[in-house]
A and B are shown apart, each in its own frame.
Chain A
Amino acid sequence: MLPKRRIYELSVFSGFILLAGLLIREPYYQNVLIFIGIHAILTVGLNLLMGYAGQISLGHAAFFGIGAYSSGILTATHGWSPLSAMLVAVIVTAVIAVIIGIPSLKLTGYYLAMATLGFGIIVYIMFREMSQFTGGASGLVGIPPLSFGKWTLGTGTDYFFFVWGLLFVVIVLSLNMVDSQVGRAFRAIHDSEIAALSLGIDTSRLKLKVFVISAVYASIAGSIYAHYITFISPSSFGFMFSIKLVTMVVIGGMASIWGALFGAATITILPEILHVFAEYDVIVFGIILIVVMIFMPQGLTCGILDAWQKSKRLARKRALMEQKARL
């Protein structure tokens, strides 16, 4: 069962979803919000892996892509229903995650980063080169919108509620996990894998578990993405997207589920704001990335909270001084 604080947080969150869904009607803003939701499903999963269990993945775009392409190919080419395609996509992703996770998760630090990076690039090249299935570099077209039986998601509002509803479920599941014994075991692995091992925690099993869970989240996000934009091409699932996901997690703050949501929102909105710089927005993006990492290595959430607490402490100090001066 979730503790009281979590229930409070979740009710605020669901209130926000309801309000945003009912009030925001502008297609552009709805579109941005839907992308924030999709990215947040990905980053909540990646944060379980990176923030809680301390395992780096530089290839998470691959799982997102496997989900998107499995759904896309099964529905557009073979005429499956979106729901069954999504389930198959989840199974395919989980199996691949187990196969790649068992040898990779034996590695630590940079080596794990390299292994996941290599995996991500290989998958990206497969999307590009297996053109008889994937449509190659020009992409896969004609993916139908999401539908469940007779009900088809048509409007932006439909997608908004679906994506954010799913995100809500994902967040509840993840909060439940991090507050449980499994979550504490993850944090133990993060701090010292050897200590965790000597306390009787089956670390390799747990690491694999969280790796597969985060891959499955990514796959579901990928399936929804494919159905939402109805067209996918390999460039959406390359190295840069993996990096963007990692950035969302780090900027949002490691080991914080709500931080992941915040990071996803920040990195998704940023290019929209930087639009004024046209194609040179990457320069500004690079600078922001560097500056945030240098000055707020704990992420924006913690950085802002720290600054706020510091200013509060300063204010209290000043009040105390004034009191003393009066005496």
Chain B
Amino acid sequence: MDLAAQTLQFLFSGITNGAIYGLIALGFTIIYNATEVINFAQGELVMLGGMIMIALSKGTNLPLPAGFVISVSIVSIVGASFERFTIRPLKNPTQIGIIIITIGVSILLKGVAMFIWGKETLSSRPFSHSPPIHVGSATLDPQSLWILGITFGILLLLQLFYQKTITGKAMRACAFNKRAAGLVGIPTQKMILLSFVLSAAMGAAAGVAITPITMCSYDMGTILGLKGFCAVVLGGLGSTIGSVVGGFILGIVESLGAGLISSSLRDAIAFVLLLGMLFVRPQGIFGIKEVKKI
């Protein structure tokens, strides 16, 4: 394979990974906007989505859409109880307290997953059984198209939700100023709960979509969560479009860097990008809010 074809191949896998990172980053952003909580357990919600899907499809002939819906619903319930039992009881939340609690939840979810499904790496069936698509001399896995489709579908739905529905508008008001939103009668408590449910559902959808490609094990969430987190910073903390764009940038740079420079440093690329962005432009590409810098 010549360099151009190789680059194209790396670009394909970069775009696929980028869509995944973007989807995870969206989950971070929804919660952050509603509560200013950075949820370090986001990656574990992705892992749960994938694991539940695998458990459902093993040995049964459950149709794919049904499995998808069940998996997403279960993880949404997990997300709701997460908010209800760990975030809401906090009286005076500090950033460090929130970081430790969400990390506590991630440790807990990881432990529970290990308890239920053990330590093996599991895989699930791809969504469709069509053969790989050839573009020039590069090949594209049909599952990648599914992932891209799901990411854009969710982004579109989310935008519609935020712009067109009264609940979405209430959530935006909540993100803008929680106190003022409460004063005009928006149930802020419910909005926060909803943000956790939405974000968990999105994480689960990402998990279901990626397991046919990446496989799934109880400990895959941590690194996925951290990468999604890098995507958030690249795009700008709090920006919906920014998190998806950040995801794609991260995915593509990582894939090209790993392919063309060194694959052993693959995981480091994301964090070098993260540091670079934080040092040069901490508000990210799409960041509107000025980051307090002293």
Contacts and interface: CB of A to CB of B under 8 A. Distances in A.
A, B: real partners: yes
- Specify which of A109, A194, A197, A293 lies most central, judged by the most chain B CB atoms within 10 Å of its CB: A293
- Specify which of A110, A247, A283 lies most central, judged by the most chain B CB atoms within 10 Å of its CB: A110
Contacts of B104: 286-287, 289-290, 293
A121 interface: yes
Given A194-B294, A246-B100, A289 B107 contact: yes
Given A106-B294, A203-B294, A204-B294, A286 B96 contact: no
Given A118-B275, A122-B275, A297-B91, A113 B103 contact: no
Given A203-B294, A246-B100, A285-B107, A294 B265 contact: no
Contacts of A239: 222, 226
Contacts of A264: none
Interface string A281-306: 01101110110011001000000000
Contacts of B115: 280, 283
B262 to A, nearest CB: 8
B278 interface: yes
Interface in B191-240: 222, 226, 229-230, 233, 237
A282 to B, nearest CB: 4
A73 interface: no
A113 B95 CA distance: 10
Interface stretch (B16-24, B182-190, B266-274): B266-274
Contacts of B229: 114
Interface string A262-289: 0000000000000000011011011101
A122 B112 CA distance: 28
- Specify which of B96, B229, B282 lies most central, judged by the most chain A CB atoms within 10 Å of its CB: B96
A129 B233 contact: no
B294 A125 contact: no
Contact of A126 (B100, B105, B268): B268
A129 B265 contact: yes
A270 B282 CA distance: 38
A250 interface: yes
Contacts of A286: 104-111
B280 to A, nearest CB: 9
B101 interface: yes
A212 interface: no
B288 interface: no
Contacts, number: 128
A194 B106 CA distance: 35
Interface in A187-226: 193-194, 197, 203-204
A109 B95 contact: yes
Given A114-B233, A129-B264, A286-B108, A293 B101 contact: yes
Interface range, B side: 35 or more
Contacts of B292: 108-109
B222 A122 contact: no
Nearest to B89: A294
A29 interface: no
Contacts of B101: 289-290, 293-294
Given A286-B107, A286-B108, A280 B237 contact: no
Contacts of B230: 118
Interface in A25-62: 50, 56, 58
Interface residues of A, number: 44
Interface string B81-110: 000001001111011110111011111111
Contacts of B291: 107-108, 111
A192 B111 CA distance: 39
Given A114-B278, A122-B268, A193 B226 contact: no
Contacts of B282: 107, 111
Interface in B249-269: 264-265, 267-268
A141 interface: no
A118 to B, nearest CB: 4
B97 A293 contact: yes
B270 to A, nearest CB: 8
Interface in B92-141: 92, 94-97, 99-101, 103-112, 114-115
A282 B108 CA distance: 7
A119 interface: yes
B293 A280 contact: no
Contacts of B94: 297
- Specify which of B38, B230, B271, B291 lies most central, judged by the most chain A CB atoms within 10 Å of its CB: B271
B226 to A, nearest CB: 7
B100 A118 contact: no
A103 B226 CA distance: 21
A113 B267 CA distance: 19
21 contacts: A50-B96, A104-B278, A107-B293, A111-B282, A113-B95, A118-B230, A121-B226, A121-B267, A122-B268, A122-B271, A197-B294, A280-B114, A282-B111, A283-B115, A286-B110, A287-B104, A293-B104, A294-B89, A297-B90, A297-B91, A297-B97
Given A121-B267, A283-B112, 12 more contacts: A58-B99, A107-B282, A108-B291, A114-B278, A122-B272, A203-B294, A239-B222, A243-B100, A250-B97, A285-B107, A286-B107, A293-B101
Smallest CB-CB A-B distances: 9 pairs: A286-B108, A289-B104, A283-B111, A286-B107, A282-B111, A118-B271, A290-B104, A103-B279, A118-B274
